[in-house]
């Protein structure tokens, strides 16, 4: 059975940024590269959580392969520590797709205002932006409660990490009080000629943050990356702007 933390974190994902002149060119190019590359990576995804007492829960292992027919692109090998039955696999796929559809308008990519950014750190190799967040229609990451930092590799012009930080404690309906928390998305180069894909998400919180339960930790790792030809290419389809990541 798909766990609540994993289901709800599906909505916390990136979208292709609208191409506007106000967007810092480096930020715009990094997101463009990332979005364009998503359909070409197959990988194994492993999710590990700890409960409120710090005890590890059963891990979930999923194979993602965009080269396969749509109904077969997501294959869970283990769900909450158990080998899945055919019925559990089908349920997993449907729940994952429903969650993505439902959370699309509250994804990180939909909520950020890339033209309202400021540089907060810079080195010889990287630059970090504090990215603005929408206020209207933003129930997931209200700007007065959360901060989003995007670090970009200046040489490769691609994403290195995205950090989401809780600014102050607050209450959320049905969740409780969020006291503190962080979520970090790390991007890791696989081959020099292609931009780095998302390789890891680490999240922790006290109270409940980004839908990780009280005092719990969440870890998602992607390994065994392979370049593949998207299944849609078999029909000459054009890949448009990506609204969400496939996790």
pLDDT digits (tens, 9 = 90+) for 130-147: 998 888 877 777 888 888
Residue 180 resides in a domain: yes
The Cα 188–Cα 179 span in angstroms is 30
pLDDT digits (tens, 9 = 90+) for 143-156: 888 889 999 999 99
Residue 145 resides in a domain: yes
The Cα 57–Cα 45 span in angstroms is 16
Residue 238 resides in a domain: no
Candidate ranges 2-11, 106-115, 225-234; pick with highest mean pLDDT = 225-234
Residue 40 resides in a domain: yes
Which residue do the tokens 């979930």 mark?
Answer: 60
* Residues of the domain holding 208: 4-222
pLDDT digits (tens, 9 = 90+) for 73-92: 999 999 999 999 999 999 99
Residue 91 resides in a domain: yes
3-state secondary structure 84-127: CCHHHHHHHHHHHHHHHHHHHHHCHHHHEEEEEEEEEEECCCEE
Residue 69 resides in a domain: yes
The Cα 44–Cα 200 span in angstroms is 12
Residue 120 resides in a domain: yes
The Cα 58–Cα 205 span in angstroms is 19
Query: So what's the pLDDT on residue 215?
Result: 58
For the chain, the average pLDDT equals 79
- Structurally, the chain folds into a number of domains equal to 1
Closest C-alpha among 128, 204, 121, 131 to residue 160: 128
Q: Are 157 and 30 in contact (CB under 8 A)?
A: yes
Residue 194 resides in a domain: yes
């Amino acid at each position: 059975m798909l766990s609540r933390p994993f289901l709800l974190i599906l909505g916390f994902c990136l979208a292709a940024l609208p191409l506007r002149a106000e967007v810092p060119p480096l930020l715009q190019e990094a997101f463009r590269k990332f979005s364009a590359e998503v359909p070409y990576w197959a990988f194994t995804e492993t999710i590990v959580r700890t409960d409120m007492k710090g005890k590890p829960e059963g891990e979930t292992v999923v194979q993602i392969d965009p080269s396969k027919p749509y109904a077969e692109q997501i294959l869970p090998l283990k769900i909450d520590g158990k080998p899945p039955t055919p019925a559990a696999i089908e349920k997993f796929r449907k729940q994952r797709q429903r969650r993505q559809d439902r959370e699309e308008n509250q994804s990180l990519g939909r909520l950020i205002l890339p033209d309202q950014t400021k540089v907060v750190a810079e080195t010889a190799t990287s630059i970090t932006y504090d990215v603005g967040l929408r206020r209207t229609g933003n129930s997931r990451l209200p700007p007065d409660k959360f901060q989003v930092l995007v670090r970009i590799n200046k040489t490769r012009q691609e994403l290195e990490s995205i950090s989401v930080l809780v600014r102050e404690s607050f209450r959320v309906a049905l969740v409780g009080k969020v006291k503190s928390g962080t979520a970090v998305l790390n991007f890791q180069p696989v081959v020099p000629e292609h931009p780095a894909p998302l390789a890891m998400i680490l999240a922790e919180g006290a109270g409940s943050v980004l839908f990780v339960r009280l005092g719990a930790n969440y870890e998602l790792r992607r390994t065994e990356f392979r370049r593949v030809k998207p299944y849609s290419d078999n029909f000459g389809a054009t890949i448009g702007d990506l609204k969400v990541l496939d996790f």
